[in-house]
Amino acid sequence: MSAAFDDLPLAPLQPLALGWLARAGVEVAVLRLDLIDPLISGNKWFKLQGHLRLAHARGAPGVISLGGAYSNHLHALAAAGKRFGFATAGLLRGHPHSNPTVHDLQALGMHLHWLGYAGYRARHQADFWRPWQALYPAWHCVPEGGAGPLGTEGCAQIVTQARAQLAAVGWADYDAWWLAVGSGTTLVGLAQAEAGAHPVHGALAVPPGHGVEGEVEVLAPGTYRLHDASRGGFAKVDPALLAFIQASEAESGLPLEPLYTGKALLALQERVLAGAFVAGTRLIFVHTGGLQGRRGFA
């Protein structure tokens, strides 16, 4: 396995021009994690870097992880394996079927195993990994979505990248962060890196009560704020959300997807229009990637 994965690309920080922001006097700069790489995109490289480094140090012959049939995480892992020369295996939720993401995983050489739905729900059980470690001896196992301490440590680099580019958008400082939240790994990484210097706002892509709040509070107590952006359920979309995404893309040129970034930006609009941010506020919006998943909503 090559250590070239340590060369993490720089995500550009770009101003976001939208009428509702201008009218409220709120400035937003987008950290374009979606632009760091065409395949190992978004926050995934940040989450995976520590795992790949550990696997390399241990001489692991491959890396195994799990996710849904449109998983951005598995897509990035398979691409990293193909590029950096290590084997990969993916444990997928649901039953065997084909879609553009699954086709990519196979083309990138990932070994796929379909767990069904009950089998996937067992992923939190203490002995879940035992049979897979027997099937893939000495392989490194990565939690769902790259969650855990290694993932949060990697995401701390997002803060460093943004701060290094403030002058490029004409800022000396910023007031807060705004980003979509799935597992909470990226939010915790930002909150830990900030250590209270700037608040971190997380737009929940999963409904409240699904456990994310408790996990985040243990790891980053009091350094963040969560907002429900799920619109009734994970991966649930509605005409208003899709219309908002279409209009926002046409006005700003910023590509969005409906599971994470689209919901996060819509939730930000709702807060701005409600007066939650005063004129002159400067926010960094993290584009967490996931654009390959748009193909599921074609």
Give the model confidence (pLDDT) of 202-236 as tens digits.
999 998 887 888 889 888 888 899 999 999 998 89
Nearest to residue 237, comparing CAs of 265, 209, 267, 257?
A: 257
154: which 2 tokens?
């990697």
Sort 125 into a burial class: Cβ within 10 Å, 0-12 / 13-18 / 19+: exposed
Q: Determine the pLDDT at residue 211.
A: 80
Type of residue at 282 = R
Answer yes or no: is pLDDT of 157 > 80: yes
Place of tokens 């301490």: 149
Answer yes or no: is pLDDT of 1 > 60: no
Q: Determine the pLDDT at residue 289.
A: 97
All domains of the chain in start order, with CATH: 4-38+148-297 (3.40.50.1100), 44-146 (3.40.50.1100)
Least confident among 17-31, 145-159, 163-177, 217-231: 217-231
Q: Determine the pLDDT at residue 38.
A: 94
Report the Cα 196 to chain-centroid distance in Å: 22
Q: Is the pTM of this model over 0.85?
A: yes
Least confident among 85-94, 215-224, 241-250, 262-271: 215-224
Answer yes or no: is pLDDT of 2 > 60: no
Q: Do residues 108 and 81 lie in contact, with contact meaning Cβ atoms separated by under 8 Å?
A: yes
Mean residue pLDDT across the chain: 95
Answer yes or no: is pLDDT of 3 > 80: no
DSSP labels, 224-271: EEEEE-STTSTT---HHHHHHHHHHHHHH-----TTTHHHHHHHHHHH
The pLDDT confidence band at residue 298, using thresholds 50, 70 and 90, is: low
Q: Determine the pLDDT at residue 202.
A: 97
The pLDDT confidence band at residue 296, using thresholds 50, 70 and 90, is: confident
Strand partners, 62: 87
d(CA 156, CA 83): 24
Q: 44-58 vs 185-194: helix axis angle to the nearest 10?
A: 90
Q: Determine the pLDDT at residue 6.
A: 87
Q: Is 18 left (phi over 0), alpha (psi -120 to 50) or beta?
A: beta
Nearest to residue 201, comparing CAs of 272, 280, 141?
A: 272
The pLDDT confidence band at residue 280, using thresholds 50, 70 and 90, is: very high
- Alpha-carbon distances of 237 from 4, 227, 234, 244, 263, rounded to whole Å: 38, 17, 9, 11, 9
Answer yes or no: is pLDDT of 109 > 60: yes
d(CA 216, CA 235): 21
289: which 2 tokens?
């990637």
Q: Do residues 186 and 47 lie in contact, with contact meaning Cβ atoms separated by under 8 Å?
A: yes
Task: For residue 70, give the 3-state DSSP assignment.
Answer: coil
- The DSSP output letter for 106 is H
Answer yes or no: is pLDDT of 56 > 80: yes
Nearest to residue 147, comparing CAs of 222, 67, 225, 209?
A: 67
Q: Do residues 115 and 90 lie in contact, with contact meaning Cβ atoms separated by under 8 Å?
A: no
Give the model confidence (pLDDT) of 12-47 as tens digits.
999 999 999 999 999 999 999 999 999 999 999 999
The pLDDT confidence band at residue 167, using thresholds 50, 70 and 90, is: very high
Q: Determine the pLDDT at residue 59.
A: 96
d(CA 145, CA 64): 12
Q: Determine the pLDDT at residue 190.
A: 97
